[in-house]
Amino acid sequence: MTVKLMNAPKLRKRYSQYSRFLSSTLVFELIIKTTSRVRWFTPELRGANPAMRIPRKRFAFVLSVVLALVGMATAQTTSNTYNAATNFEQGWTTTKSNPNGVWSYGYSSGFTNPITLYNSAVAAASGSSSFQTWVSPAIEQGGSPNVAFNDGPAYNNGNLDLLANQLSLGSGIGGQYSDLVFTAPANGTYSVVASFRGDQYGVGTVVAIVVNGSVLFNSNVTADGQTVPFSSQVSLNAGNTVVFSVGPGGGLQNTGISATVTGALSQPQPYPYYFSHLAFSGGWQSTLTYINYSPQAVTCVTNFYSDAGTPLSTPFSEGTISTRTDVLQPGQSIHDQTIANLAGFLTEGWAQASCTGPVQASLLYRLYQSSTPLGEASVNAETAPTTEFATFAQTATGVAFANPSTTQSATITFTVYSATGTGLGSQSVTLGPLAHSSANVGPLLGLQSFTGFVKITASIPIISLSLNAEAFPVFSSLPPGDLSSSTPLVKP
């Protein structure tokens, strides 16, 4: 299609052949003929009272139970504090293991590159009986790279200058970075307070804090005694990492690190987001958007499902995946479009995300002819399923719907009313767990022409969206019309 076809007098739109049935998908096929005629094929669905007094013994028992419950509640909201230096010394005097609880020690070739753990524990290194050091003999040169702890008073030999009970990271003479790694033991929001310090005369290093593979902070240490502080909160899932890294920066390599991570024991309530429809190939691409407007990092895990409720492999630039994890630092956003073959067979489904904090979430649908965009619409994510919807509709209105339950089937009933309030008919559809479908309202109910609204009710909470397509290929999103499940609705 050329740009000329977008001129209103030359673009003729027709709806035809609503009879073709596809069992679990809605296909919008835009067929462009050489005569510049556009046809849209829209297949069908797819106290004081003595009686209240408690005897003393029983009161004591009740009080003990209450206090125990209070203690449990308190335990659920207290925090765990992990101090890198203190925990290093505790591990050294007991197991001398690496990893050491939530901490591990290793080296890499760059801030975000894979880390190899040190495998040799050396006491009394660098000529001091108080030094406790992790190294790897296979790559060690001059005792570096290393992680070292000064288990004693301040130490200064004219070369090294360490504070009492200080942990230090030594980058490698061979170019290696030395890494202190914290691994989150549970989901939660963690406070990270750290400070790098020049621990050697002539020091020159680069330093960074890397959260789950992304550099959150970086700087330089260029003088003995110089400190570079850092403080932030980060949202982590169990197994996520915070890496404190020191690399070569043109000078000597020993850099002190003070690091304390504090994390709540209670797990944060996830923030759910639902995308009732996505489409790619067959002329379509979908764009996933997340905006982290909060002052804390947010992790979103998004799962994509097919019409049948099975994992849907979705092509993005990072790969064809059915699950993606996005870590958004404060103020960060993503706007990631699928990279499907536009000439391929249309694939549709839905998606559900779970985020560790609030985000603005939406999905944009874009229709192409060859590589030229013809139309697009963006729909905000829903945050809760419901059993009732009401929104404007006419013959060509597209509705998509999905069942987020993992165990129950949903019976969904569509009832159409004319602009004067006359009931025009209804149609019911059953969706299995995690299943999805979509339809154009007119063909779904066998209506040739109408304008009014559609009422959608379901036996269990579902998600749904509607697209206005009366001037297709120009189309736009309609309000989803989601209502409280107890909302009184008009009867046929």
Distance in angstroms (rounded) separating the CA atoms of residues 481 and 454: 10
Structure confidence at residue 129 (pLDDT): 72
pLDDT band for 124, please (50, 70, 90 cuts).
Answer: low
Tokens of 208: 């960074």
Listing DSSP states for 84-141 in one string gives HHHHHHHHHHHT--SSBTTEEEEEESSTTS--EE--EEEESGGG-TTEEEEE-TTT-B
pLDDT band for 269, please (50, 70, 90 cuts).
Answer: confident
Tokens of 330: 């404060």
Average pLDDT, the chain: 83
Query: To which H or E segment does residue 63 belong?
Result: helix 56-77
Query: What whole-number percentage of the chain has pLDDT above 90?
Result: 69
Tokens of 109: 């070739």
Structure confidence at residue 76 (pLDDT): 38
- Would the pTM of this model clear 0.75, i.e. be above it? no
Q: Are 388 and 327 in contact (CB under 8 A)?
A: no
Exposed, middle or buried by CB within 10 Å (0-12, 13-18, 19+), for 425? middle
Q: Give the pLDDT confidence of 86-102 residue by residue, as tens digits.
A: 999 888 888 788 989 89
- CA 386 centroid distance within chain: 23
Question: Is residue 390 over pLDDT 80?
Answer: yes
Question: Is residue 256 over pLDDT 50?
Answer: yes
Question: Is residue 32 over pLDDT 70?
Answer: no
Question: Is residue 126 over pLDDT 60?
Answer: no
Give me the half-sphere count of Cα atoms (radius 13 Å) on the Cβ side of residue 190. 27
Q: Are 255 and 177 in contact (CB under 8 A)?
A: no
Q: Give the pLDDT confidence of 338-383 residue by residue, as tens digits.
A: 999 999 999 999 999 999 999 999 999 999 998 899 999 999 999 9
Distance in angstroms (rounded) separating the CA atoms of residues 18 and 41: 7
Question: Is residue 33 over pLDDT 80?
Answer: no
Structure confidence at residue 21 (pLDDT): 24
Question: Is residue 281 over pLDDT 80?
Answer: yes
Q: Give the pLDDT confidence of 182-238 residue by residue, as tens digits.
A: 999 888 889 999 999 999 999 999 999 999 999 999 999 999 999 999 999 998 888
Question: Is residue 30 over pLDDT 60?
Answer: no
pLDDT band for 61, please (50, 70, 90 cuts).
Answer: very low
Return the DSSP state at 151.
-
